[in-house]
Structure 1
Amino acid sequence: MKTLLINAHPDFTNRNHFSVQLQEKFIEKVKHEFPDDELTIINLYELDIPRIEADGLLAIWNKQKSDIALNPTEAEIAKQSAALLTQFKDHHRIVISTPLHNFNITSRLKDYMDNILIARETFKYTESGSVGLMTDDYRLLLLQASGGIYTNNDRYTALDFAPNYLKEMFTNIMGFSQFDLVRAQGTDILSADQVWEHANLDLEKAFRHFYEN
Protein backbone atom coordinates (compact mmCIF):
# COMPACT_ATOMS: atom_id res chain seq x y z
CA MET A 1 0.00 0.00 0.00
CA LYS A 2 1.39 3.40 -1.03
CA THR A 3 1.12 6.08 1.67
CA LEU A 4 1.74 9.80 1.20
CA LEU A 5 2.60 11.65 4.41
CA ILE A 6 2.20 15.43 4.17
CA ASN A 7 3.95 17.45 6.88
CA ALA A 8 2.34 20.89 7.12
CA HIS A 9 4.43 22.33 9.97
CA PRO A 10 6.67 25.33 9.10
CA ASP A 11 9.27 24.15 11.64
CA PHE A 12 9.08 20.52 10.53
CA THR A 13 12.59 19.52 11.67
CA ASN A 14 12.03 20.60 15.28
CA ARG A 15 11.20 17.54 17.40
CA ASN A 16 9.89 19.72 20.22
CA HIS A 17 6.63 20.14 18.31
CA PHE A 18 3.91 17.68 19.21
CA SER A 19 2.74 17.26 15.62
CA VAL A 20 6.28 16.34 14.58
CA GLN A 21 6.49 13.81 17.41
CA LEU A 22 3.09 12.41 16.48
CA GLN A 23 4.25 12.02 12.91
CA GLU A 24 7.35 10.16 14.08
CA LYS A 25 5.18 7.77 16.09
CA PHE A 26 3.13 7.09 12.95
CA ILE A 27 6.25 6.47 10.86
CA GLU A 28 7.60 4.04 13.45
CA LYS A 29 4.34 2.08 13.34
CA VAL A 30 4.37 1.94 9.53
CA LYS A 31 7.96 0.67 9.44
CA HIS A 32 7.16 -1.94 12.09
CA GLU A 33 3.84 -3.12 10.68
CA PHE A 34 4.49 -2.73 6.93
CA PRO A 35 8.27 -2.75 6.36
CA ASP A 36 7.87 -3.45 2.65
CA ASP A 37 5.26 -0.77 1.93
CA GLU A 38 6.08 2.50 0.23
CA LEU A 39 5.96 5.62 2.42
CA THR A 40 6.52 8.98 0.70
CA ILE A 41 7.06 12.02 2.95
CA ILE A 42 6.79 15.61 1.76
CA ASN A 43 7.38 18.74 3.83
CA LEU A 44 5.17 21.51 2.47
CA TYR A 45 7.37 24.28 3.82
CA GLU A 46 10.37 23.17 1.78
CA LEU A 47 8.38 22.91 -1.45
CA ASP A 48 7.53 25.60 -3.98
CA ILE A 49 3.75 25.25 -3.96
CA PRO A 50 1.75 27.29 -6.50
CA ARG A 51 -0.74 29.70 -4.98
CA ILE A 52 -4.00 31.28 -6.10
CA GLU A 53 -2.63 34.68 -7.08
CA ALA A 54 -3.24 37.07 -9.95
CA ASP A 55 -0.07 35.93 -11.72
CA GLY A 56 -0.21 32.38 -10.39
CA LEU A 57 -2.88 29.69 -10.45
CA LEU A 58 -5.64 32.21 -11.08
CA ALA A 59 -4.05 33.39 -14.32
CA ILE A 60 -3.31 29.82 -15.37
CA TRP A 61 -6.85 28.58 -14.75
CA ASN A 62 -8.34 31.55 -16.62
CA LYS A 63 -6.07 30.98 -19.62
CA GLN A 64 -6.69 27.23 -19.65
CA LYS A 65 -10.43 27.85 -19.52
CA SER A 66 -10.15 30.13 -22.56
CA ASP A 67 -7.62 27.90 -24.35
CA ILE A 68 -4.94 30.61 -24.25
CA ALA A 69 -1.28 29.62 -24.33
CA LEU A 70 0.66 30.01 -21.07
CA ASN A 71 3.83 32.05 -20.89
CA PRO A 72 7.02 30.25 -19.73
CA THR A 73 6.60 31.26 -16.09
CA GLU A 74 2.97 30.17 -16.03
CA ALA A 75 3.86 26.91 -17.78
CA GLU A 76 6.38 26.11 -15.04
CA ILE A 77 3.84 26.87 -12.31
CA ALA A 78 1.27 24.69 -14.07
CA LYS A 79 3.84 21.88 -14.25
CA GLN A 80 4.51 22.14 -10.51
CA SER A 81 0.81 22.06 -9.72
CA ALA A 82 0.21 19.08 -11.99
CA ALA A 83 3.05 17.16 -10.34
CA LEU A 84 1.51 17.68 -6.90
CA LEU A 85 -1.86 16.49 -8.16
CA THR A 86 -0.37 13.39 -9.85
CA GLN A 87 1.55 12.45 -6.72
CA PHE A 88 -1.55 12.93 -4.58
CA LYS A 89 -3.79 10.78 -6.80
CA ASP A 90 -1.14 8.06 -6.97
CA HIS A 91 -1.43 7.30 -3.22
CA HIS A 92 -4.51 5.67 -1.74
CA ARG A 93 -3.50 6.42 1.83
CA ILE A 94 -3.00 10.11 2.63
CA VAL A 95 -1.67 11.27 6.01
CA ILE A 96 -1.57 14.94 7.01
CA SER A 97 0.54 15.97 9.99
CA THR A 98 -0.20 19.51 11.11
CA PRO A 99 -0.50 21.91 14.03
CA LEU A 100 -3.36 24.35 14.39
CA HIS A 101 -2.58 27.95 13.44
CA ASN A 102 -5.15 30.45 14.70
CA PHE A 103 -7.80 27.72 14.90
CA ASN A 104 -7.23 26.56 11.34
CA ILE A 105 -4.92 24.67 9.00
CA THR A 106 -1.53 26.17 8.17
CA SER A 107 -1.30 28.54 5.22
CA ARG A 108 0.92 26.21 3.20
CA LEU A 109 -1.54 23.36 3.68
CA LYS A 110 -4.28 25.58 2.25
CA ASP A 111 -2.04 26.28 -0.74
CA TYR A 112 -1.57 22.53 -1.18
CA MET A 113 -5.32 21.95 -1.03
CA ASP A 114 -5.76 24.49 -3.83
CA ASN A 115 -3.59 22.29 -6.06
CA ILE A 116 -5.52 19.07 -5.47
CA LEU A 117 -9.11 20.32 -5.32
CA ILE A 118 -9.35 20.41 -9.09
CA ALA A 119 -12.61 19.99 -11.01
CA ARG A 120 -12.65 16.98 -13.36
CA GLU A 121 -9.61 15.59 -11.55
CA THR A 122 -10.63 14.94 -7.93
CA PHE A 123 -14.28 15.99 -8.19
CA LYS A 124 -16.75 17.09 -10.84
CA TYR A 125 -19.72 19.42 -11.04
CA THR A 126 -23.14 18.04 -11.94
CA GLU A 127 -26.60 19.58 -12.13
CA SER A 128 -27.39 18.19 -8.70
CA GLY A 129 -24.11 19.28 -7.09
CA SER A 130 -20.48 18.23 -6.99
CA VAL A 131 -19.48 14.56 -7.04
CA GLY A 132 -16.21 13.13 -5.73
CA LEU A 133 -14.00 11.24 -8.18
CA MET A 134 -11.61 9.65 -5.66
CA THR A 135 -13.86 6.77 -4.69
CA ASP A 136 -11.45 3.85 -5.16
CA ASP A 137 -10.78 3.28 -1.43
CA TYR A 138 -8.84 6.49 -0.83
CA ARG A 139 -8.44 7.24 2.88
CA LEU A 140 -7.21 10.20 4.95
CA LEU A 141 -5.56 10.13 8.37
CA LEU A 142 -5.17 13.52 10.07
CA LEU A 143 -2.52 13.86 12.78
CA GLN A 144 -3.26 17.17 14.51
CA ALA A 145 -1.62 18.90 17.46
CA SER A 146 -3.24 21.83 19.27
CA GLY A 147 -2.52 23.90 22.33
CA GLY A 148 -6.18 23.89 23.33
CA ILE A 149 -8.76 21.15 23.75
CA TYR A 150 -11.63 20.96 21.27
CA THR A 151 -13.60 17.96 22.52
CA ASN A 152 -15.01 19.27 25.81
CA ASN A 153 -18.27 20.49 24.29
CA ASP A 154 -17.52 24.09 25.25
CA ARG A 155 -16.96 27.30 23.28
CA TYR A 156 -13.84 25.87 21.64
CA THR A 157 -15.77 23.00 20.10
CA ALA A 158 -17.46 25.42 17.70
CA LEU A 159 -13.98 26.59 16.64
CA ASP A 160 -12.88 23.13 15.56
CA PHE A 161 -12.64 24.28 11.95
CA ALA A 162 -9.53 22.47 10.69
CA PRO A 163 -10.58 18.82 11.00
CA ASN A 164 -14.12 19.63 9.88
CA TYR A 165 -12.82 21.44 6.79
CA LEU A 166 -10.43 18.62 5.86
CA LYS A 167 -12.99 15.90 6.50
CA GLU A 168 -15.57 17.57 4.27
CA MET A 169 -13.11 18.37 1.49
CA PHE A 170 -11.75 14.83 1.37
CA THR A 171 -14.90 12.79 1.96
CA ASN A 172 -17.79 14.99 0.83
CA ILE A 173 -16.10 16.78 -2.07
CA MET A 174 -13.40 14.36 -3.32
CA GLY A 175 -15.13 11.13 -2.35
CA PHE A 176 -12.62 9.57 0.04
CA SER A 177 -14.13 6.52 1.70
CA GLN A 178 -12.69 7.15 5.15
CA PHE A 179 -11.45 9.91 7.48
CA ASP A 180 -9.55 9.24 10.71
CA LEU A 181 -8.35 11.81 13.22
CA VAL A 182 -5.66 11.57 15.89
CA ARG A 183 -5.36 14.53 18.23
CA ALA A 184 -2.46 15.53 20.42
CA GLN A 185 -4.43 18.29 22.10
CA GLY A 186 -4.08 20.46 25.16
CA THR A 187 -0.34 20.80 24.65
CA ASP A 188 -0.33 24.27 26.26
CA ILE A 189 -2.35 23.30 29.31
CA LEU A 190 -1.62 19.62 30.01
CA SER A 191 1.56 17.77 30.82
CA ALA A 192 3.23 15.86 28.00
CA ASP A 193 2.31 12.60 29.72
CA GLN A 194 -1.36 13.60 29.76
CA VAL A 195 -1.28 14.59 26.09
CA TRP A 196 0.32 11.31 25.01
CA GLU A 197 -1.88 9.18 27.21
CA HIS A 198 -4.82 10.00 24.96
CA ALA A 199 -2.94 10.55 21.70
CA ASN A 200 -1.21 7.17 21.77
CA LEU A 201 -4.50 5.37 22.28
CA ASP A 202 -6.12 7.34 19.47
CA LEU A 203 -3.18 6.61 17.16
CA GLU A 204 -3.32 2.89 17.82
CA LYS A 205 -7.04 2.75 17.03
CA ALA A 206 -6.90 5.03 14.00
CA PHE A 207 -3.85 3.28 12.56
CA ARG A 208 -5.66 -0.07 12.53
CA HIS A 209 -8.74 1.46 10.94
CA PHE A 210 -6.69 3.37 8.38
CA TYR A 211 -4.96 0.26 7.04
CA GLU A 212 -7.59 -2.41 7.59
CA ASN A 213 -8.79 -4.29 4.52
Structure 2
Amino acid sequence: MKLLHIDSSPLGANSVSRELTRRIVARWQATHPGTVVEHLDLAVDAPTHLNGDSLGFRLGYEDASLTEAQRRENAVSERLVSQFLAADVVVIGAPMYNFTIPSQLKAWIDRVAQAGRTFKYTEAGPVGLAGGKTVIVASTRGGAYASAPQMDHQESYLRTILAFFGVTDVRFVRAEGMAMGDTAKAAGLASAEADIAAHASEAANEGRTAIRA
Protein backbone atom coordinates (compact mmCIF):
# COMPACT_ATOMS: atom_id res chain seq x y z
CA MET A 1 0.00 0.00 0.00
CA LYS A 2 1.23 3.48 -0.90
CA LEU A 3 0.40 6.55 1.16
CA LEU A 4 1.02 10.08 -0.11
CA HIS A 5 1.47 12.51 2.79
CA ILE A 6 0.96 16.14 1.72
CA ASP A 7 1.65 19.18 3.88
CA SER A 8 0.95 22.74 2.74
CA SER A 9 1.38 24.95 5.81
CA PRO A 10 4.52 27.14 5.86
CA LEU A 11 4.50 27.32 9.68
CA GLY A 12 6.82 24.37 10.25
CA ALA A 13 6.86 23.13 13.84
CA ASN A 14 4.15 25.68 14.74
CA SER A 15 1.69 24.20 12.26
CA VAL A 16 -1.34 22.41 13.69
CA SER A 17 -2.19 20.80 10.33
CA ARG A 18 1.31 19.32 10.10
CA GLU A 19 1.01 17.82 13.56
CA LEU A 20 -2.37 16.32 12.63
CA THR A 21 -1.13 14.82 9.36
CA ARG A 22 1.81 13.32 11.24
CA ARG A 23 -0.57 11.67 13.71
CA ILE A 24 -2.90 10.48 10.96
CA VAL A 25 -0.05 8.88 9.02
CA ALA A 26 1.35 7.24 12.17
CA ARG A 27 -2.07 5.78 13.05
CA TRP A 28 -2.54 4.52 9.49
CA GLN A 29 0.86 2.82 9.50
CA ALA A 30 0.02 1.21 12.83
CA THR A 31 -3.13 -0.37 11.37
CA HIS A 32 -1.57 -1.09 7.96
CA PRO A 33 1.97 -2.41 8.55
CA GLY A 34 4.17 -2.22 5.50
CA THR A 35 2.56 0.96 4.15
CA VAL A 36 5.07 2.91 2.06
CA VAL A 37 4.88 6.65 2.79
CA GLU A 38 5.97 9.40 0.43
CA HIS A 39 6.02 12.95 1.80
CA LEU A 40 5.28 15.97 -0.38
CA ASP A 41 5.96 19.29 1.37
CA LEU A 42 4.31 22.00 -0.71
CA ALA A 43 5.68 24.76 1.52
CA VAL A 44 9.16 23.69 0.40
CA ASP A 45 8.54 22.30 -3.07
CA ALA A 46 5.33 23.72 -4.50
CA PRO A 47 4.73 23.78 -8.25
CA THR A 48 4.37 27.20 -9.83
CA HIS A 49 0.89 28.50 -10.48
CA LEU A 50 -0.46 27.79 -13.93
CA ASN A 51 0.93 30.02 -16.63
CA GLY A 52 1.56 29.97 -20.36
CA ASP A 53 4.26 27.34 -19.98
CA SER A 54 2.49 24.93 -17.65
CA LEU A 55 -1.14 25.34 -18.74
CA GLY A 56 -2.35 22.63 -21.07
CA PHE A 57 -0.47 19.63 -19.67
CA ARG A 58 1.20 18.69 -22.90
CA LEU A 59 2.10 15.19 -21.79
CA GLY A 60 4.45 14.76 -24.72
CA TYR A 61 6.88 17.09 -23.01
CA GLU A 62 9.81 15.76 -25.05
CA ASP A 63 8.21 17.13 -28.22
CA ALA A 64 10.83 19.21 -30.02
CA SER A 65 8.27 21.94 -30.72
CA LEU A 66 7.98 22.77 -27.03
CA THR A 67 10.21 25.28 -25.34
CA GLU A 68 12.57 24.18 -22.59
CA ALA A 69 10.32 25.91 -20.04
CA GLN A 70 7.27 24.04 -21.33
CA ARG A 71 9.03 20.68 -21.20
CA ARG A 72 10.21 21.41 -17.68
CA GLU A 73 6.75 22.44 -16.44
CA ASN A 74 5.05 19.50 -18.14
CA ALA A 75 7.52 17.13 -16.48
CA VAL A 76 6.54 18.62 -13.09
CA SER A 77 2.84 18.12 -13.87
CA GLU A 78 3.43 14.54 -14.99
CA ARG A 79 5.42 13.73 -11.86
CA LEU A 80 2.73 15.10 -9.56
CA VAL A 81 -0.25 13.47 -11.26
CA SER A 82 1.56 10.11 -11.47
CA GLN A 83 2.42 10.34 -7.77
CA PHE A 84 -1.21 11.07 -6.88
CA LEU A 85 -2.62 8.30 -9.05
CA ALA A 86 -0.17 5.73 -7.64
CA ALA A 87 -1.25 6.40 -4.04
CA ASP A 88 -3.81 4.18 -2.34
CA VAL A 89 -4.18 6.68 0.50
CA VAL A 90 -3.61 10.44 0.46
CA VAL A 91 -3.32 12.47 3.66
CA ILE A 92 -3.62 16.22 3.05
CA GLY A 93 -2.81 18.98 5.51
CA ALA A 94 -5.16 21.83 4.57
CA PRO A 95 -5.27 24.85 6.87
CA MET A 96 -7.92 27.47 6.11
CA TYR A 97 -6.46 30.67 4.72
CA ASN A 98 -8.95 33.49 4.14
CA PHE A 99 -11.87 31.04 3.95
CA THR A 100 -10.14 28.72 1.47
CA ILE A 101 -7.01 26.60 1.07
CA PRO A 102 -3.38 27.76 0.83
CA SER A 103 -2.36 28.85 -2.65
CA GLN A 104 0.41 26.25 -2.74
CA LEU A 105 -2.14 23.48 -2.22
CA LYS A 106 -4.32 24.98 -4.96
CA ALA A 107 -1.27 25.02 -7.26
CA TRP A 108 -0.80 21.29 -6.62
CA ILE A 109 -4.48 20.58 -7.34
CA ASP A 110 -4.25 22.55 -10.58
CA ARG A 111 -1.37 20.30 -11.68
CA VAL A 112 -3.17 17.02 -10.93
CA ALA A 113 -6.52 18.11 -12.38
CA GLN A 114 -5.77 16.75 -15.82
CA ALA A 115 -8.32 15.64 -18.39
CA GLY A 116 -7.61 12.05 -19.32
CA ARG A 117 -5.70 11.37 -16.11
CA THR A 118 -7.86 12.28 -13.11
CA PHE A 119 -11.13 12.99 -14.97
CA LYS A 120 -12.66 12.92 -18.41
CA TYR A 121 -15.60 14.57 -20.12
CA THR A 122 -18.29 12.44 -21.71
CA GLU A 123 -21.63 13.11 -23.40
CA ALA A 124 -23.22 12.46 -20.01
CA GLY A 125 -20.88 14.86 -18.20
CA PRO A 126 -17.56 14.59 -16.34
CA VAL A 127 -16.37 11.25 -14.98
CA GLY A 128 -13.69 10.89 -12.31
CA LEU A 129 -10.76 8.61 -13.09
CA ALA A 130 -8.95 8.61 -9.73
CA GLY A 131 -11.38 6.58 -7.63
CA GLY A 132 -10.55 3.68 -5.39
CA LYS A 133 -8.38 5.63 -2.98
CA THR A 134 -8.92 7.02 0.51
CA VAL A 135 -8.25 10.71 1.17
CA ILE A 136 -7.96 12.01 4.73
CA VAL A 137 -7.86 15.79 5.13
CA ALA A 138 -6.47 17.49 8.22
CA SER A 139 -8.58 20.65 8.23
CA THR A 140 -7.49 23.41 10.59
CA ARG A 141 -9.25 26.73 11.11
CA GLY A 142 -8.54 29.76 13.26
CA GLY A 143 -12.26 30.33 13.74
CA ALA A 144 -15.35 28.14 13.87
CA TYR A 145 -17.07 27.58 10.54
CA ALA A 146 -18.89 24.27 10.91
CA SER A 147 -22.06 26.27 11.63
CA ALA A 148 -21.33 28.87 8.92
CA PRO A 149 -21.07 26.85 5.68
CA GLN A 150 -21.50 29.95 3.53
CA MET A 151 -18.02 31.04 4.67
CA ASP A 152 -16.37 27.69 4.06
CA HIS A 153 -14.58 27.53 0.72
CA GLN A 154 -11.95 25.20 2.19
CA GLU A 155 -13.62 21.88 2.94
CA SER A 156 -16.42 22.46 0.44
CA TYR A 157 -13.89 23.01 -2.35
CA LEU A 158 -11.85 19.94 -1.41
CA ARG A 159 -14.95 17.76 -1.31
CA THR A 160 -15.99 19.06 -4.73
CA ILE A 161 -12.64 18.63 -6.50
CA LEU A 162 -12.00 15.20 -4.99
CA ALA A 163 -15.47 14.03 -6.02
CA PHE A 164 -14.74 15.42 -9.50
CA PHE A 165 -11.66 13.16 -9.54
CA GLY A 166 -13.87 10.21 -8.62
CA VAL A 167 -12.73 9.90 -5.00
CA THR A 168 -15.68 8.83 -2.87
CA ASP A 169 -13.88 7.92 0.36
CA VAL A 170 -13.01 11.36 1.76
CA ARG A 171 -12.57 11.76 5.52
CA PHE A 172 -11.97 14.94 7.51
CA VAL A 173 -10.05 15.48 10.72
CA ARG A 174 -11.15 18.94 11.79
CA ALA A 175 -9.58 21.28 14.34
CA GLU A 176 -11.57 24.50 14.65
CA GLY A 177 -11.06 27.53 16.88
CA MET A 178 -7.26 27.45 16.80
CA ALA A 179 -7.10 31.25 17.18
CA MET A 180 -10.02 31.66 19.58
CA GLY A 181 -8.16 31.24 22.86
CA ASP A 182 -6.74 28.37 24.86
CA THR A 183 -10.08 26.79 25.76
CA ALA A 184 -11.39 26.76 22.19
CA LYS A 185 -8.05 25.52 20.87
CA ALA A 186 -7.94 22.66 23.38
CA ALA A 187 -11.49 21.67 22.45
CA GLY A 188 -10.66 21.81 18.75
CA LEU A 189 -7.58 19.63 19.18
CA ALA A 190 -9.53 17.13 21.30
CA SER A 191 -12.16 16.92 18.58
CA ALA A 192 -9.47 16.34 15.95
CA GLU A 193 -7.88 13.61 18.06
CA ALA A 194 -11.28 11.92 18.33
CA ASP A 195 -11.62 12.07 14.55
CA ILE A 196 -8.18 10.49 14.12
CA ALA A 197 -9.04 7.69 16.54
CA ALA A 198 -12.36 7.07 14.76
CA HIS A 199 -10.71 6.89 11.34
CA ALA A 200 -7.99 4.61 12.73
CA SER A 201 -10.63 2.25 14.13
CA GLU A 202 -12.46 2.28 10.82
CA ALA A 203 -9.22 1.56 8.97
CA ALA A 204 -8.40 -1.31 11.33
CA ASN A 205 -11.84 -2.85 10.78
CA GLU A 206 -11.42 -2.50 7.01
CA GLY A 207 -8.06 -4.24 7.27
CA ARG A 208 -9.51 -7.16 9.22
CA THR A 209 -12.37 -7.49 6.71
CA ALA A 210 -9.89 -7.56 3.82
CA ILE A 211 -7.85 -10.29 5.52
CA ARG A 212 -10.94 -12.45 6.10
CA ALA A 213 -12.01 -11.92 2.48
TM-score, scaled relative to structure 1: 0.86
Q: CA deviation at 1:146?
A: 0.6
What is the aligned counterpart of 1:176 among 167, 173, 189? 167
Alignment pair present for 1:206 and 2:199: yes
CA contact (8 A) 2:2 2:36 kept: yes
Deviation string 1:75-124 (CA, Å, 9 cap, x unpaired) is 11111110111111000211111211101000001100011110011100
Compared with structure 1, are the counterparts of its residues 82 and 159 closer, same or farther at alpha carbon in structure 2 (3 Å cutoff)? same
Alignment pair present for 1:18 and 2:16: yes
Q: Name the structure 1 match of 2:87.
A: 91
Compared with structure 1, are the counterparts of its residues 69 and 30 closer, same or farther at alpha carbon in structure 2 (3 Å cutoff)? same
Q: After TM superposition, what 4+ stretches of structure 1 lie above 3 angstroms from structure 2?
A: 60-64, 207-211
What is the aligned counterpart of 1:40 among 14, 38, 46? 38
TM-score, scaled relative to structure 2: 0.86
Deviation string 1:34-88 (CA, Å, 9 cap, x unpaired) is 342111111012115142113x212x54897xx8821112111111110111111
Superposition CA RMSD, Å: 2.2
**Number of residues of Structure 1 aligned to a counterpart in Structure 2:** 202
Compared with structure 1, are the counterparts of its residues 116 and 63 closer, same or farther at alpha carbon in structure 2 (3 Å cutoff)? closer
Q: CA deviation at 1:27?
A: 2.9
CA contact (8 A) 1:63 1:70 kept: no
CA contact (8 A) 1:139 1:210 kept: no
What is the aligned counterpart of 1:139 among 134, 141, 145? 134
CA contact (8 A) 1:50 1:115 kept: no
Identity across matched positions, percent: 26
Letter aligned with residue 138 of structure 1? K
Hey, what's the Cα distance between the residues in 1 that align with 2:57 and 2:74?
Answer: 9
Hey, what's the Cα distance between the residues in 2 that align with 1:186 and 1:42?
Answer: 26
Hey, what's the Cα distance between the residues in 2 that align with 1:87 and 1:63?
Answer: 15
**Which region of structure 1 is more displaced relative to structure 2, 69-78 or 104-113?**
69-78
CA contact (8 A) 1:4 1:94 kept: yes
Deviation string 1:157-203 (CA, Å, 9 cap, x unpaired) is 211111111111112x1111211011011111142422222111111
1:53-202 equivalence runs, <5 A: 53-54=51-52, 56-58=53-55, 60-61=56-57, 69-135=65-131, 137-151=132-146, 153=147, 156-171=148-163, 173-191=164-182, 192-202=185-195
Letter aligned with residue 86 of structure 1? S
Hey, what's the Cα distance between the residues in 1 that align with 2:106 and 2:21?
Answer: 19
Unmatched tracts of structure 2, length 5 or more? none
